[in-house]
Amino acid sequence: MAVNMSLLKNEMPAQSAEVRNKNFLEVTLGYTKEQAVDEAKRCLNCKNRPCVTGCPVQIDIPEFIKEVAEGNFEEAFQVISRSSSLPAVCGRVCPQESQCEAKCVRGIKGEPVAIGRLERFVADYHNANSKTKVQKPVSNGHKAAVIGSGPSGLACAGDLARKGYEVTIFEALHLAGGVLVYGIPEFRLPKAIVQKEINALKDMGVTIQTNVVIGKTLSIDELMEDYGFEAVFVGSGAGLPNFMNIKGENLKGVYSANEFLTRINLMKAYKENAMTPIQRGSKVTVVGGGNVAMDAARCAKRLGAEVSIVYRRTEKELPARLEEVEHAKEEGIQFSFLTNPLEVKGSEDGWVKGLVCQKMELGEPDASGRQRPVAIPGSEFIVDADCVIISIGTSPNPLIKATTKGLETQKWGGIIAEEGTGLTSRTGVYAGGDAVTGAATVILAMGAGKNAAAAIDEYILGKEK
């Protein structure tokens, strides 16, 4: 494997772009022990610990980094594990640059300490070297249900299990992990790592029931009234894709990013002789500018396509992580900024053959504070494409709302939940993550799951008094 070994302070070894854009192996390869210790020694161990305030799950960052600097890698893992159920995942996919690392004092005049990469190193070291199984806590005699096995559900389940609760996770798909398994590609987050994190929860006594669609197979009311669950956490995510509602979106060769990525990530459609089909387009256009758009584009590239991304604002406004944008560019993906699709053109037999677009310019700021894109009259043009992937966001599935009487939601479908606890309009029912906020980050979803677990514990034990 060709590896790019150029290391500037906190850079990691990685597959070279011309090699990795043809395979689904992990792009970045992780620190060596020596690199991890050297990076950890850059930490100033600040008294006021600003990095911790930037972490949604409040990991004791200075303490775990101090252990790494001293070569105590397993001790560092134990520090992280007090706050996070998914360290190997978070070390890979969390936007540390806008959270903990954004608060790092080192970053004021130079590079912040690479907190995320150190977290990944510590978790990978533990997974490779530890032979000790997680011990199941003593039962406290109470039951709680978790709907969804994505980041918020896993975090909630883990914290409740540590407190002695009998926890059952109900997952709609055939495999646990939620967006971690169906949404994020193998080259960013190997699925074996997700499975290790889930197995650790099982060792703690968490039961996971797959192929159970809450709202169809069972309702929330049935979980509480017939199955004896004293509280329910809804962490069902936001898996309903949004579309542009333009002409031609129903043509063959048009995918939502959710479907495209699910076929590749969950069903392994990229492998030879895969049972799940996927179109291997020669010219693929992805619409959108978030991390999901980058994931879809980079997957299409690995399937052999010439790939372009169209985005209606400028590069400066791209919501995707800078690292993901840079990786996409290195891998040969083209970007068309200030470009907005108007229509998908099709052939006589109903297949995509092009995308009609219009050039844009930035006008006055909109409600989000970003400049609103304004169409330039007469600037229409056609992009050749035989596959179009729409990646403009997702919404929560309305199934739980429709089958749970008294559960209040936003107009756009998000469950209304109390900030800091996740309590909904239904007594004993809590919610968090993308089901409440819409599509956001793994670590924010985990933070919501942890907050809800604390609130559920207080609610259930409070009934005993």
Query: What type of residue is 27?
Result: V
Mean pLDDT of 12-24: 94
Please give the mean pLDDT across all residues of the chain. 95
- List, in order, residues 6 or more apart from 162 with CB less than 8 Å away: 137, 204
In this prediction, residues 451-465 reach a mean pLDDT of: 92
- What residues does each domain of the chain span? 17-129, 143-238+396-464, 240-393
Q: What is the mean pLDDT of residues 279-308?
A: 97
Range scoring the smallest mean pLDDT among 130-134, 142-146, 177-181, 375-379: 130-134
Residue 394: predicted pLDDT: 95
CATH 3.50.50.60 is right for the domain spanning 143-238+396-464: yes
Reported CATH class of domain 17-129: mainly alpha
Tell me, what's the pLDDT at 367? 85
- Write out pLDDT tens, residues 55-113: 999 999 999 999 999 999 999 999 999 999 899 999 999 999 999 999 999 999 999 99
State the Cα–Cα distance between residues 337 and 180, nearest whole angstrom: 29
CATH of domain 240-393: 3.50.50.60
Single-letter code of the amino acid located at 362: L
pLDDT above 90 as % of the chain? 93
Same fold, 17-129 and 240-393: no
Q: What is the mean pLDDT of residues 23-43?
A: 96
